Amino acid sequence: MQNIASNKPWIVGITGASGTVYARRLLQVLLDERPELEFELIISEAALRVMREEEGISVSPHSVTKLQLEKIIGAQTDRVRMHNNRNIGASIASGSYITSGMVIVPCSMASLAAIANGFGQTLIHRAADVTMKEGRKLVLVPRETPLSVIHLENMLKLAKIGVSLVPAMPGFYHQPKKIEDIIDMMVMRILDQMGIELKIAKRWAVGEEVSKSKTTWPIRSI
């Protein structure tokens, strides 16, 4: 699969699996530490529901305003273009709109199934389909446990065509002291797959210390 190494925008999809905090942290770190990058953001209705349940963030699915978006992400969002998941006529629904690729974090099993089987009925699913057909980088962060044969088959199908699967399965070899350390390790592994090297957590190297990201927690202001 071709990875267009450029400063074209990255598409970020947030779907309704547990762990929307990974997406918010990913965006916050990228906005703070990669000023040259722009983002096309789509948040599914289910993701907004999960944000409400898990993080107490309450946003109407039909009107995510700029202010609300800044509250969700906890950073300046001038370089983030927000799309409605129902707008299948958006720029990113077409392969002629060039992007660096797409990351879906977290990726629900429902979205995984839609993407693995070519259903492009929402903008997230269509944009993922376009990303694959154009041979651009697609990174999925699936989250479910336990996994059924259907989930595994869908993942295998996507892995076979070069989609990067980065399950939200945090490791503990960096000896996390707090939940933010676990999230940052996961986010760094996602960034690695996007080809964006940021050292926001401790990598496995004996005797090496982590150089902390300048992006500090907490990540939201509501």
Ligand X SMILES: Cc1cc2nc3c(=O)[nH]c(=O)nc-3n(C[C@H](O)[C@H](O)[C@H](O)COP(=O)(O)O)c2cc1C
- Give residues in contact with ligand X (CB under 6 A): 15-18, 44, 46-47, 49-50, 53, 108-111, 143-144
């050292």: which residue's tokens? 199
Q: Which is nearer to ligand X, 69 or 210 (CB)?
A: 69
Instruction: List the one residue out of 143, 126, 123, 150 whose CA is nearest residue 186.
Output: 143
- Min dist CB 55 to ligand X, Å, is 10
Q: Where are the alpha helices (DSSP H) in 39-177?
A: 45-55, 66-73, 109-116, 123-133, 149-160
Query: Tokens representing 193?
Result: 């797959």
Residue 205 to residue 106: CA distance in whole angstroms? 28
Q: Which is nearer to ligand X, 99 or 108 (CB)?
A: 108
Q: Which is nearer to ligand X, 75 or 105 (CB)?
A: 105
- Min dist CB 136 to ligand X, Å, is 21
Q: Which is nearer to ligand X, 47 or 130 (CB)?
A: 47
- Min dist CB 34 to ligand X, Å, is 26
> Kind and range of the H or E element at 138?
strand 137-142
- Min dist CB 111 to ligand X, Å, is 4
